[in-house]
Amino acid sequence: MMIRRLAAGIACAVAAAMLGSCVHDNRTVLTVYSPHGIDLLKYYEIEFEKAYPAIDVQWVDMGSQEVLDRIRGEAVNPQADIWFGAPSESFERAAKEGLLQPYRPTWASAVPDAAHDPHDMWYGTYLTPEVIAYNGDAIPRDSAPQDWDDVLDPKWRGKVIIRDPIASGTMRAIFGAIIAKSVTETGSPQRGYEWLRRLDANTKEYVLNPTILYQKLKSREGLITLWDMPDVATMRDRVGIPIDYVIPRSGTPLLVDAIAVVRGTKHPQEARLYYEFVTSKHSQLEASRQFLRIPARTDIPRDSLPAWIQAAMQQIKPMPVDNALLAQHLNEWMRYWDAHIRNRG
């Protein structure tokens, strides 16, 4: 965004010097914070601006936890209009902190109760299954870990690469689901912590961002990771990285990815237009076909979705997760992991 504005400013200055005047872009700037990646965000920017040429969409691509931290830091003077993408647990925390503005979309009845906030603070956009990913050139499919506990096998010691959970909404959700399951079944997080200690013992490195994660898997600096299915499928099918995935047999967290209007937005009308545009039936179908996303809306016929999504939805066994427990304790659990488990395996 900064480069774009700088380039525009230089062009304007050159024009002013040569012609004595400069034409300014008088469009309304709509700012979107999102972890959805350049390709998807650029596609929606172009398509939305075709439909609404008076609006200039400018997006900032960053990790979902980074989005939450940034919106918190800017609460007194909000810079973003829309938050597009992150596990619903992050939106729950933002809603409790008063960082979101309620909006009920026109399709509100097309998602189940678990996929939206009861006070319309956020609504689900995509479903994101968490999977075990691996370098398909280095590991035959039938030799790859088939379930979560298989990743703990000592034969994978030093071969696991994990995205830093503190900055990653995806990894926080996976770790949180494992600890929440421990609390639900035993009344204590200790069994979950022990699982994470064993994972840490096999983990070679916690990397700063997904790009580094993919590069290290490609170069075989690590062979296995835990990540979300749509991104893994994108790297495999669109980028050509030899990475494949296994849907865990015992069940997997099926995250609800969400969208919300930022409280204090300076452009509420434009924000609502963008919200409706990227969550329309057409946009959801395009996201499934072009960007391998699984729509959260239930009014989209399953047979209209790509075959790989239809097949995956038949295999996925959602892991039961107490979302209220997760929202209440996840920060506490992650602080414990960071202080007592990270790099101590």
pLDDT in tens, 254-285: 999 999 999 999 999 999 999 999 999 999 99
Whether 2-127+257-300 shares its CATH topology with 128-254+318-340 is answered: yes
For residue 227, pLDDT over 50 is answered with yes
**DSSP states of 146-182:** -SGGGGGSGGGTT-EEEE-TTT-HHHHHHHHHHHHHH
pLDDT band at residue 218 under the 50/70/90 scheme: very high
> Residue 323: its pLDDT value, please?
80
Quick one: which of 148, 206, 156 has its CA closest to 178?
Answer: 148
CATH numeric code, 128-254+318-340: 3.40.190.10
> Residue 72: its pLDDT value, please?
97
Phi and psi at residue 50, to the nearest 5° = -65, -40
Say if CB 292 and CB 129 are below 8 A apart: no
Return the SS3 of 283. Answer: helix
Query: What dihedral angle (degrees, nearest 10) is formed by the CA atoms of 228, 232, 235, 240?
Result: 180
> Residue 188: its pLDDT value, please?
97
Q: What percent of the chain has pLDDT above 90? A: 79
Kindly report, residue by residue over 293-340, the tens digit of the pLDDT. 999 999 999 999 999 899 988 999 999 888 889 888 999 999 999 999
> Residue 7: its pLDDT value, please?
41
> Residue 61: its pLDDT value, please?
94
pLDDT band at residue 130 under the 50/70/90 scheme: very high
Q: What percent of the chain has pLDDT above 70? A: 93
For residue 13, pLDDT over 90 is answered with no
> Residue 123: its pLDDT value, please?
98
CA distances from 48 to 45, 51, 94 (A): 5, 5, 26
* Bridge partners for 246 per DSSP: 132
Q: What b-and-e string marks burial along 269-282, b requiring 16 or more CB atoms within 10 Å of the CB?
A: ebbbbbbebbbeee
Return the SS3 of 291. Answer: helix
CA atoms within 13 A on the CB side of 235: 23
pLDDT band at residue 169 under the 50/70/90 scheme: confident
Q: Residue 72 corresponds to which amino acid? A: R
CATH numeric code, 2-127+257-300: 3.40.190.10
> Residue 295: its pLDDT value, please?
96
**DSSP states of 208-245:** SSHHHHHHHHHTTS--EEEEEHHHHHHIIIII---EEE
Return the SS3 of 309. Answer: helix
Q: Using CB atoms within 10 A of its CB, is residue 236 exposed (0-12), middle (13-18) or buried (19+)? A: middle
For residue 232, pLDDT over 90 is answered with yes
Q: Using CB atoms within 10 A of its CB, is residue 120 exposed (0-12), middle (13-18) or buried (19+)? A: middle
Query: To which H or E segment does residue 123 belong?
Result: strand 123-135
> Residue 22: its pLDDT value, please?
39
221/226 Cα distance (integer angstroms): 15
pLDDT band at residue 238 under the 50/70/90 scheme: confident
Say if CB 133 and CB 302 are below 8 A apart: no
Instruction: Kindly report the pTM of this predicted structure.
Output: 0.82
For residue 92, pLDDT over 50 is answered with yes
> Residue 11: its pLDDT value, please?
42
Beta strands in 37-122 (DSSP E): 55-61, 82-87, 100-101
For residue 305, how many other CB atoms are within 10 A of its CB? 19
For residue 65, pLDDT over 90 is answered with no
> Residue 308: its pLDDT value, please?
87
Enumerate the domain spans of the chain.
Answer: 2-127+257-300, 128-254+318-340
Quick one: which of 88, 90, 25 has its CA closest to 58?
Answer: 25
239/32 Cα distance (integer angstroms): 25
> Residue 79: its pLDDT value, please?
97
pLDDT band at residue 9 under the 50/70/90 scheme: very low
The arithmetic mean of pLDDT across residues 137-154, rounded, is: 97
> Residue 17: its pLDDT value, please?
40
> Residue 105: its pLDDT value, please?
98
Given 3-state DSSP classes, what are the helix, strand and coil percentages for the chain, each rounded to the nearest 5?
50, 20, 30
The arithmetic mean of pLDDT across residues 231-242, rounded, is: 90
